[in-house]
A and B are shown apart, each in its own frame.
Chain A
Amino acid sequence: MKKLLEIEWMKIRHYKTFWILFGLFIVAVFGLNMIVFKLKQAIDDADPMLKALTGGPFSFPEVWKTVGWMTGWLLYFPGFIIIFLVTNEFTFRTHRQNIIDGLSRKQFVSVKLVMAGILAVICTIMMTIASLVFGFASGSSFELGNLQYIPYFFLTSYIYMLFAFTLALLFRKAALSVGIFFIYALIFDNLLAGYINNVNKSYLSPLGSYIAPLQVADDLFPIPFIGKVLPNRPELWVLLVIIGVWIVAYQYFAIRKFENEDL
């Protein structure tokens, strides 16, 4: 695997689009959190009522949830990166050439799945650093608590990366995959989940809504500022099991598809 990762590194080292998107992502993580952070400060200064209502989302240990939830909105960027890394191979037909030159089909697709994992780790590191920065900036002192949101953020990121990966593998074209990924993650995932919840209100809700691929990852992070937990959320271990099922399903699908079809 080390050898395979070295080859991937040779591919992205001089790939400008990768570095630009990657740089934008880092700037955006701190930028977006900064905007909300400043907004909250302004609210606090303006109105004591509102200040009490919105609590202290940037103080430890709340900050992990807040920054995690907000950084979750930026997972489009690393998702785009994954899409480009995969669709490039199809566009340049290097997915064929890599196989012809001696990679096995399984090696080719596995290393890309590992790359998705590495990107998710990098996203998690960014979220961790941003949480620390804004936690301290809010004037609160560090306390242990809610640290489990770091691995939760990894799972959310990995689900997003795998979803992007699957779209790239299915559509093979960058523009199409990026468009579908963006629109779907922004709107249709919630629509689909909401629809499913409505049809079977009585029993499977909200479990049924986790057929929408991103819903379960989104539900790991409660919406900050408005209260504690989403009212209608199953127990945590159920969420984690479903996420596990999704991760296995994506990988199984990707490897099977790439191993069995004409390239």
Chain B
Amino acid sequence: MRSVRYIHNMAYVLEIEGLVKHYGRIQALKGVSLKIPKGTVYGLLGPNGSGKTTMLGLVMNILKPTSGSIKMFGETPNADQRKKIGTLLETPNFYHYLSAVQNLRIAAAIKGVENPDIDGVLERVNLLQRKDSPFQTYSLGMKQRLAIASCLLGDPEVMVFDEPTNGLDPVGIAEIRDLIKKLSLEGKTIIMASHMLDEVEKVCTHVAILKKGELIACGHVDEILAQDDVVQVGADDPARLLQVLQQMPENTGVAHDLEENKCMIYFAAGTADLGKLNQYCFEHGVVINHLRMKKKSLESKFIELTG
């Protein structure tokens, strides 16, 4: 069964309507409409160049839309609203000759945060021991952490992370994903752009999928990224096996993998029962010599959605 969770009494932090952006003859966004409810971790998923950053740039007023409208907290966006959103867009942007602390002081002053807890946010991203080093001496991963620390200044209710794990090592990636989950548990609304499906799946509650400037799907992660169970089955007579599998109840599809000369049978997520499958085949005169549960790879799912 699909689990459909609706958030009632919905307040939107962001409402986008028919957003279009052209760069000369290139159409980066072709009329995207999207509503992001409060309290969600909303993933914007799409391959490079699909329009994720363009969309966020338009929301943050560093790009000018060709047409369409944006509402932030129910109002036309303005500078004061941006102060209440922690945003990392595209790359960490800091003054190269200043230290982490000096850079964060500037960000806090712009945001109007009184007495910013600079050590606190640096601690949360594991950067405290390098807080006085100039930004230009940082590795890519450290720069990325500093950008995330800057987003945390003033404890904003809404955060926007564009490819937050870019440039991080596996440990760093896990730490940042944990941090985002914790922020989500604190009730923050998080908008996260990513080209990595598993990242969105692990972190987000909602997802919107962009492809070449168009929104091709949006909704709850479980709905959009629902995965079928896949079972790989082998027998001496694959053609006969395929016939039997096709007749088996509850399957959502069968396929013949010619390369491995095996058959595949699909079931709705979590419903595949290998014992039952084996018994069914045996009862219909096919002896199975290979039986393996295979999840459909996320990448193939992603390619299927966007390809």
Judge whether B95 is part of the interface by a CB distance below 8 angstroms.
yes
Cβ of B149 to closest chain A Cβ, rounded Å = 13
Q: Of A14, A98, A101, A102, which contacts B97 at CB under 8 A?
A: A14
Binding stretch for chain A, among B80-88, B163-171, B183-191: B80-88
Q: Are B91 and A93 within 8 A (Cβ)?
A: yes
Q: Are B79 and A260 within 8 A (Cβ)?
A: no
Question: Which A residues touch B110, using CB under 8 A?
Answer: 7, 98, 101-103
Q: Of A3, A102, A262, which contacts B82 at CB under 8 A?
A: A102
Known: A94-B95, A96-B93. A6 touches B62 (CB 8 A): no
Bound together, the chains give a CA A261 to CA B64 distance in angstroms of 7
Question: Which B residues touch A101, using CB under 8 A?
Answer: 82-83, 87, 107, 110-111, 150
Q: Are A94 and B93 within 8 A (Cβ)?
A: yes
Q: Are B95 and A88 within 8 A (Cβ)?
A: yes
Q: For chains A and B in complex, what number of residue pairs have CB atoms within 8 angstroms? A: 75
> Nearest chain-A residue to B153 (Cβ)?
A101
Bound together, the chains give a CA A260 to CA B61 distance in angstroms of 10
Judge whether B49 is part of the interface by a CB distance below 8 angstroms.
no
Q: Are B106 and A99 within 8 A (Cβ)?
A: no
> Nearest chain-A residue to B89 (Cβ)?
A100
Bound together, the chains give a CA A92 to CA B109 distance in angstroms of 18
Q: Digitize A1-24: 1 where CB-to-B-CB distance is under 8 Å, 0 elsewhere.
A: 001001100110011100000000
Q: Are A11 and B64 within 8 A (Cβ)?
A: no
Question: Which B residues touch A96, using CB under 8 A?
Answer: 62, 89, 93
Q: Of A6, A14, A92, A107, which contacts B79 at CB under 8 A?
A: A107
Question: Which A residues touch B62, using CB under 8 A?
Answer: 96, 99-100, 262-263
Judge whether A105 is part of the interface by a CB distance below 8 angstroms.
yes
Bound together, the chains give a CA A105 to CA B83 distance in angstroms of 13
Cβ of B107 to closest chain A Cβ, rounded Å = 5
Q: Digitize B105-133: 1 where CB-to-A-CB distance is under 8 Å, 0 elsewhere.
A: 11101111000000000000000000000
Bound together, the chains give a CA A88 to CA B106 distance in angstroms of 15
How many residues does chain B have at the interface if contact means C-beta atoms less than 8 Å apart?
A: 30
Bound together, the chains give a CA A166 to CA B61 distance in angstroms of 22
Interface residue tally on A, bucketed by range:
20 to 34
Bound together, the chains give a CA A96 to CA B150 distance in angstroms of 14
Cβ of B132 to closest chain A Cβ, rounded Å = 11
Judge whether B60 is part of the interface by a CB distance below 8 angstroms.
yes
Bound together, the chains give a CA A52 to CA B70 distance in angstroms of 74
Cβ of A96 to closest chain B Cβ, rounded Å = 5
Bound together, the chains give a CA A15 to CA B106 distance in angstroms of 14
Bound together, the chains give a CA A3 to CA B113 distance in angstroms of 12
Question: Which A residues touch B57, using CB under 8 A?
Answer: 262
Q: Are B87 and A100 within 8 A (Cβ)?
A: yes
Judge whether B161 is part of the interface by a CB distance below 8 angstroms.
no
Question: Which B residues touch A260, using CB under 8 A?
Answer: 64
Cβ of B52 to closest chain A Cβ, rounded Å = 15
Cβ of B8 to closest chain A Cβ, rounded Å = 31
Bound together, the chains give a CA A15 to CA B107 distance in angstroms of 17
Q: Of B61, B94, B96, B105, which contacts A97 at CB under 8 A?
A: B94
> Nearest chain-B residue to A7 (Cβ)?
B109
Judge whether B69 is part of the interface by a CB distance below 8 angstroms.
no
Q: Of B61, B80, B109, which contacts A99 at CB under 8 A?
A: B61
Q: Would you list 28 pairs from A and B whose C-beta atoms are within 8 A, ordered by A residue?
A: A6-B109, A7-B110, A10-B102, A11-B95, A16-B97, A88-B95, A92-B94, A92-B96, A93-B93, A97-B89, A98-B110, A99-B61, A99-B79, A101-B87, A101-B107, A101-B110, A101-B150, A102-B83, A102-B110, A104-B78, A107-B79, A260-B64, A262-B23, A262-B57, A262-B62, A262-B63, A262-B64, A263-B62
The 4 closest A-B pairs by CB, nearest first: A102-B83, A97-B93, A104-B79, A93-B93
Known pairs A16-B97, A92-B93, A101-B83 / 9 extra A-B pairs, C-beta < 8 Å: A10-B102, A93-B91, A98-B110, A101-B82, A101-B110, A101-B111, A105-B61, A260-B64, A262-B57
Interface, chain B (partner A; CB < 8 A): 23, 57, 60-64, 78-80, 82-83, 87, 89, 91, 93-98, 102, 105-107, 109-112, 150
